[in-house]
Amino acid sequence: MVDVIIPAYNEEGNIEVIYKELSNTLKDLKYTLIFIDDGSTDKTYDHLVDLYDKDKKHIKVIRFSRNFGKDAAIYAGLNHVKAEYTCIIDSDMQQNPKYILDMLKFLEKNTEYDQVAMVNDYKEASKFQRLAKTSFYRLLNRLSDQKFVTGASDFRVLRKYVVKAILEMKESNRFTKGLFSWVGFNTYYMTYKVDKRHSGESKFKFRKQISYGIDGILSFSTKPLKIATLIGSIISLIAFIYLIQIIGETLLFGKEAPGYASMMCVILMLGGIEILVLGIIGEYIAKSYIETKNRPIYLEKNSLGFDDDIL
């Protein structure tokens, strides 16, 4: 009745714990746990093989040929689900499995809703983190036609047809949070408390979060290009007015044009802005270059538990 997708990248210390917690929580339901080993270099896969040998009825494993990223792992999982409900959960115990039952119960009772998403309340986060996250979502909402809920996580339960809709999007630049909201449907948001990581460390350090955020904006908005055009137009207009003023002053009052210092400032400023705008255009070209190659989103090295499936 529920398939659980669990992306794992170098999570050797967490696999057993998340397995135990998930099996305990879901013991009264029909469930499958689909682990995706996203090219781990530690003992994650060995732990997954152990689990599979112990509990073939409930465990399936997909192993990537290298690290393709969490969004690719989620996509791989979605490709293999069959149950009426699909849940996505991290493997590090930051997202307590007990909430899955709440989400399932909600969807069973409220047929008008299509998915339930857990929202991080950021109560535990530092002031700086909270400010950074809320500013990011505000910016994303400003720039994009889509509406994004601040703190909405990938921890969610989807009905079958939502999964199908997400799989329709084959882009390789997958900002999954954006895709969840792009497909529409009726989403219910529940707030939850994010726990501490059980073992290991986060793979989304500050720098990676920033580049993930920029990717998100580029994937869901072309407004930066329009802003670039606007900046260019405003500067050209100012330059034109200034030119008229200089010509006027020289011709009418015989005033000498001011010296090279102000010229340097203007040239440098314009140069800077030009490079910035070229950079923005370049980012979009790079993205479409990657998309046109149409490379697979992930590659499997091997899988366990799918023998009866057509892969």
Considering beta carbons, is residue 202 or 229 the nearer one to Mg ion?
Answer: 202
Tokens of 32: 């499958």
Distance between CA atoms of residues 184 and 147, nearest Å: 10
Tokens of 233: 């137009």
Min separation Cβ 206 and ligand UDP, Å: 11
Distance between CA atoms of residues 15 and 204, nearest Å: 19
Distance between CA atoms of residues 280 and 265, nearest Å: 23
Out of ligand UDP, Mg ion, none, what residue 172 binds, judged by CB under 5 to 8 A for its kind, is: none
Considering beta carbons, is residue 155 or 220 the nearer one to ligand UDP?
Answer: 155
Out of ligand UDP, Mg ion, none, what residue 91 binds, judged by CB under 5 to 8 A for its kind, is: ligand UDP
Min separation Cβ 203 and Mg ion, Å: 8
Considering beta carbons, is residue 3 or 90 the nearer one to ligand UDP?
Answer: 90
DSSP structural state of residue 257: P
Distance between CA atoms of residues 232 and 291, nearest Å: 28
Question: Is position 94 an interface residue for Mg ion (rule: CB under 5 A)?
Answer: yes
Out of Mg ion, ligand UDP, none, what residue 204 binds, judged by CB under 5 to 8 A for its kind, is: ligand UDP
Out of ligand UDP, Mg ion, none, what residue 7 binds, judged by CB under 5 to 8 A for its kind, is: ligand UDP
Min separation Cβ 126 and Mg ion, Å: 16
DSSP structural state of residue 21: H
Min separation Cβ 38 and ligand UDP, Å: 4
Length of the chain: 311
Q: In which order are the strands placed within the sheet that holds 152-159?
A: 187-192, 115-120, 152-159, 85-88, 2-8, 31-37, 59-64, 300-304
Min separation Cβ 142 and Mg ion, Å: 27
Q: How far is CA 110 from CA 28, 104, 186, in A?
A: 21, 10, 11
Considering beta carbons, is residue 70 or 156 the nearer one to ligand UDP?
Answer: 70
Out of ligand UDP, Mg ion, none, what residue 9 binds, judged by CB under 5 to 8 A for its kind, is: ligand UDP
CA angle 26–27–32, rounded 5-degree value? 60
> In what helix (H) or strand (E) does residue 277 lie, and over which residues does it extend?
helix 260-293
Q: Which residue is nearest to ligand UDP (CB)?
A: 202
Considering beta carbons, is residue 153 or 187 the nearer one to ligand UDP?
Answer: 153
Distance between CA atoms of residues 62 and 304, nearest Å: 7
CA–centroid distance for 295 within its chain = 19
Given the rule CB under 6 A, which residues bind ligand UDP? Answer: 7-9, 11, 38, 67, 69-70, 73, 90-92, 94, 202-204
Out of ligand UDP, Mg ion, none, what residue 38 binds, judged by CB under 5 to 8 A for its kind, is: ligand UDP
Considering beta carbons, is residue 92 or 154 the nearer one to Mg ion?
Answer: 92
Instruction: Pick the binder of Mg ion from 3, 92, 114, 154 (CB under 5 A).
Output: 92
Considering beta carbons, is residue 18 or 62 the nearer one to Mg ion?
Answer: 18
Considering beta carbons, is residue 94 or 144 the nearer one to ligand UDP?
Answer: 94
Contact indicator for 2, 25 with CB cutoff of 8 Å? no
Q: Which residues bind Mg ion (CB under 5 A)?
A: 90, 92, 94
